[in-house]
Chains A and B, each alone.
Chain A
Amino acid sequence: MSARDDVLGRVRRALEGVEPGYAVPPSPRISPPADVVGLFVERVEDYRATVVRCTPADLTARVAEALPAGARAVVPDGLGVTVPGAVADTGLTAAELDAIDAVVTEARVGIAETGTIVLDHGPGQGRRAISLVPDLHVCIVRVDQVVPDVPDALPLLDPARPHTWISGPSATSDIELSRVEGVHGPRTLHVIVVD
């Protein structure tokens, strides 16, 4: 008997007489926050990320300010903003990405309650590696992308796509529980919230 049939057979035998239907109680929602975007900003800042708000007209300037002078920043296809020192992602290798200072991306969803940014790696966001290897991630979130909580975000996401949920810069508390920002992911997360 194949391992597959064996395991499935054991599962079936283990559950003999068990009723397969199980009514899952509904997941509770939060009472809607008065200022969803304000909450999002506060919660992202809580993770020690930098957050700035701006108008669409100011976006280019805010992106430029977020990047150190002379920095090279990889940009994905479809990014709706001009980036100084932009390096187009032409399928750069991981080692090439490692030599680049920063990455600028857009996002798919912002979650206010948890201060989370979700990338679905579509146009304007790029493949997963580009927002992972460089040490500074500048991420642009539009206010109309911000939803109150996790259950509001999931239905907006296409499970067929890969997703990265980002809540602050990478962090560890593995050494005596003292929090260190930045281990392997970008050590600096700079979020620009556009009206």
Chain B
Amino acid sequence: MSGGTFVGMPAFPKAAQEALGNAQLRHNLAHATGTIRAKRLRLIDEVNANSDWEALRLAGAGVKESALVDLATHLERLEETLTANGATVHWARDAAEANAIVASIAKGHGVDEVVKVKSMVTQEIGLNEALEAEGIAAWETDLAELIVQLGHDLPSHILVPAIHRNRSEIREIFLREMAAVGRPAPDDLTDEPAVLAAAARAHLREKFLRAKVGVSGANFAVAETGTLVVVESEGNGRMCLTLPEVLVSVVGIEKVVPTWEGLDPLLRLLPRSSTGERMNPYTSTWSGISPGDGPQEVHVVLLDNGRTNALADEVGRQALRCIRCSACLNVCPVYERTGGHAYGSVYPGPIGAILNPLLKGPGHDEQVDSLPYASSLCGACFEACPVRIDIPSVLVDLRAQVVDAHRGGVPKVEAVAFKGAAVALSDSRKLGLGERFTRVGLRVARRVGASKWTSARDLPPAPRESFRQWWKRTDGGRP
């Protein structure tokens, strides 16, 4: 999965159908997304009682946008400040380069293992597999990632990657797998979550205490101050960032935040949008090396791996604002019913449906090309997104690109329809845009004479009640 999509995964429709048959997965996902949705909404009401959530979203989107539109300047500044703080900055064009850099640092210290804190980007580049090929074990230390890793499994949700596993399965995985890679699970292990968490604590603690090299990602990288920020819950992040002698952080170039104060809206938006908490238990910031405190050798790998493709896409560029909160997953009717595995990528859900094709470009891979269709365009994702990424518009634009790519660059009538709809959508830029799409999109499609296409694709007449209205009214069709 070195490109970020799982090799060998069937394209979305087939994978989704398989997932739909898995009752356990559907039940767990519905419970998880429903719970997080409710917590998030309560907190937004709380913010609106003494402040303004929408203004906070605008500020958060603005901070990220201001970084992206002048990204080269901010990246050069980041390199300068990190270096002044004693960190070594590396650049990687793609996954292979980034993996090689991390592997060579680990080898340079003669280690055969590293401890890792959950990071989307290291999953995207397939770092664990690359290190394994070099004889270096990469221990995932986030509880869910540990469950996924020990279960030889794939993560199914950005935030709760093991949500497809229930407690008795987790108990079995721990009993079966822990002994082979370190401290075994106790014989009297029960399936109580607290007992399972305690087993993970004991299993991982010996790894933390002896680890020489830690590997992380970063949620934010502050250009002005040379500071990296990691947001987490369990404390495994703090362990990985603090105890090893050497720390390597792989950071996508879109993680840049221009100033220290720019962290403000983002640190308020992220935990509320992701876990539905006012603040996550732990946030760590570090600016290179602190004498006498933490790793005394600090590396930062700045990674492109397709991000500049996304940056060059006028409509799609905004996807790089994403702070990986997973709010869009939790409100997505398609995601709730199919689960993360159906997307065949480390980035599932609505954001995955746009980010994967943007990173890789259309027309290369059937799985990636099918992703922009993994949506009902209901607009709930845009409404939930703390940095106001207009996912429906990007999806529509990408569909046009996919169609173009398969026509060898000759626009087809449906491509024109999608383009038109994308423009109309981008212009509307406001809430309630889901409703507008169905009618606008179909109107555009008809205007350009897509009658054949619409009948072939079985497009219904623009409904009186939009999908999103229906979704709201029925709470996603729940009985």
On A, residues with C-beta under 8 Å from B are 2-4, 6-8, 10-15, 18-31, 33, 43, 46-47, 91, 94-95, 98, 111, 113-116, 121, 127-129, 132-133, 149-151, 154-155, 157, 159-178, 180, 182-186
A160's closest neighbor in chain B, by CB? B287
Residue interface bits B336-372, CB-to-A below 8 A is 1, else 0 = 0000000000000000000000000000000000000
- B166 interface contact, C-beta 8 A: yes
The answer on a CB contact under 8 Å between B284 and A13 is: no
Q: A161-B290, A165-B285 given. 6 additional CB < 8 A pairs? A: A4-B79, A24-B66, A25-B59, A154-B263, A159-B227, A172-B233
The answer on a CB contact under 8 Å between A129 and B51 is: no
CA distance A154 to B65 in the complex (A): 21
Q: B239 to chain A: which residues have CB within 8 Å?
A: 132, 184
The answer on a CB contact under 8 Å between B234 and A162 is: no
The answer on a CB contact under 8 Å between B196 and A162 is: no
The answer on a CB contact under 8 Å between B278 and A114 is: yes
Which of A6, A18, A164, A171 touches B69 (beta carbons < 8 Å)? A18
The answer on a CB contact under 8 Å between A14 and B282 is: no
Residue interface bits B234-259, CB-to-A below 8 A is 1, else 0 = 11101101110000000001000000
CA distance A127 to B28 in the complex (A): 40
- Known A-B contacts A25-B58, A115-B279; A10 and B285 likewise in contact (beta carbons under 8 Å): no
CA distance A113 to B49 in the complex (A): 12
CA distance A4 to B304 in the complex (A): 10
The answer on a CB contact under 8 Å between A94 and B93 is: no
The answer on a CB contact under 8 Å between B69 and A15 is: yes
List 18 interface pairs A-B (beta carbons < 8 Å), by A numbering.
Answer: A14-B309, A14-B311, A22-B62, A23-B62, A24-B62, A25-B55, A95-B209, A129-B243, A159-B285, A162-B294, A168-B281, A175-B162, A176-B31, A177-B163, A182-B197, A182-B201, A184-B201, A184-B234
CA distance A7 to B94 in the complex (A): 10
Which of B97, B167, B205, B264 touches A184 (beta carbons < 8 Å)? B205
Q: B90 to chain A: which residues have CB within 8 Å?
A: 3
- B454 interface contact, C-beta 8 A: no
CA distance A122 to B280 in the complex (A): 23
B108 to chain A, nearest CB (A): 18
The answer on a CB contact under 8 Å between B275 and A173 is: yes
Q: B194 to chain A: which residues have CB within 8 Å?
A: 180
A98's closest neighbor in chain B, by CB? B209
> By DSSP majority rule, is chain A's interface helix, strand, loop, or mixed?
loop
- Known A-B contacts A15-B69, A183-B200, A185-B238; A167 and B279 likewise in contact (beta carbons under 8 Å): yes
- B283 interface contact, C-beta 8 A: yes
CA distance A15 to B208 in the complex (A): 42
Which of A11, A95, A132 touches B308 (beta carbons < 8 Å)? A11
Which of A6, A11, A164, A178 touches B282 (beta carbons < 8 Å)? A164
A23 to chain B, nearest CB (A): 7
A75 to chain B, nearest CB (A): 16
- B130 interface contact, C-beta 8 A: no
- B334 interface contact, C-beta 8 A: no
A130 to chain B, nearest CB (A): 10
The answer on a CB contact under 8 Å between B209 and A3 is: no
A46's closest neighbor in chain B, by CB? B278
The answer on a CB contact under 8 Å between A174 and B144 is: yes
Most buried by A among B79, B208, B282, B311: B282
- B312 interface contact, C-beta 8 A: yes
Interface stretch of the complex, out of B70-78, B396-404, B442-450 = B70-78
- Known A-B contacts A160-B85, A184-B141; A166 and B281 likewise in contact (beta carbons under 8 Å): yes
Q: A127 to chain B: which residues have CB within 8 Å?
A: 290, 292-294
The answer on a CB contact under 8 Å between B242 and A129 is: yes
Q: B253 to chain A: which residues have CB within 8 Å?
A: 7, 11
A164 to chain B, nearest CB (A): 6
Q: A19 to chain B: which residues have CB within 8 Å?
A: 69
The answer on a CB contact under 8 Å between B65 and A159 is: no
- B286 interface contact, C-beta 8 A: yes
Which of B36, B91, B160, B262 touches A2 (beta carbons < 8 Å)? B91
B314's closest neighbor in chain A, by CB? A18
Residue interface bits B405-429, CB-to-A below 8 A is 1, else 0 = 0000000000000000000000000
- Known A-B contacts A10-B308, A160-B287, A170-B235; A155 and B91 likewise in contact (beta carbons under 8 Å): no
The answer on a CB contact under 8 Å between B143 and A128 is: no
- Known A-B contacts A6-B93, A128-B293, A184-B205; A28 and B59 likewise in contact (beta carbons under 8 Å): yes
The answer on a CB contact under 8 Å between B72 and A15 is: yes
CA distance A6 to B304 in the complex (A): 10
The answer on a CB contact under 8 Å between A150 and B233 is: no
For window 65-123 of B, CB contacts with A under 8 Å fall at 65-66, 69-73, 75-76, 79, 85, 90-93, 97
- Known A-B contacts A25-B58, A174-B162; A7 and B302 likewise in contact (beta carbons under 8 Å): yes
The answer on a CB contact under 8 Å between B92 and A3 is: yes
A146 to chain B, nearest CB (A): 14
Q: B264 to chain A: which residues have CB within 8 Å?
A: 27, 150-151, 154
The answer on a CB contact under 8 Å between A47 and B281 is: yes
Most buried by B among A3, A21, A178: A3
A151 to chain B, nearest CB (A): 5
The answer on a CB contact under 8 Å between B243 and A28 is: no
The answer on a CB contact under 8 Å between B62 and A170 is: no
Q: B233 to chain A: which residues have CB within 8 Å?
A: 170-173, 183
Q: A116 to chain B: which residues have CB within 8 Å?
A: 279
Q: A21 to chain B: which residues have CB within 8 Å?
A: 69-70
The answer on a CB contact under 8 Å between B281 and A176 is: no
Q: A161 to chain B: which residues have CB within 8 Å?
A: 287, 290
The answer on a CB contact under 8 Å between B197 and A15 is: no
The answer on a CB contact under 8 Å between B143 and A172 is: yes
Which of A12, A95, A180 touches B197 (beta carbons < 8 Å)? A180
CA distance A169 to B66 in the complex (A): 35
B143 to chain A, nearest CB (A): 4
The answer on a CB contact under 8 Å between A176 and B73 is: no
- B178 interface contact, C-beta 8 A: no
- Known A-B contacts A27-B59, A94-B209; A175 and B91 likewise in contact (beta carbons under 8 Å): no
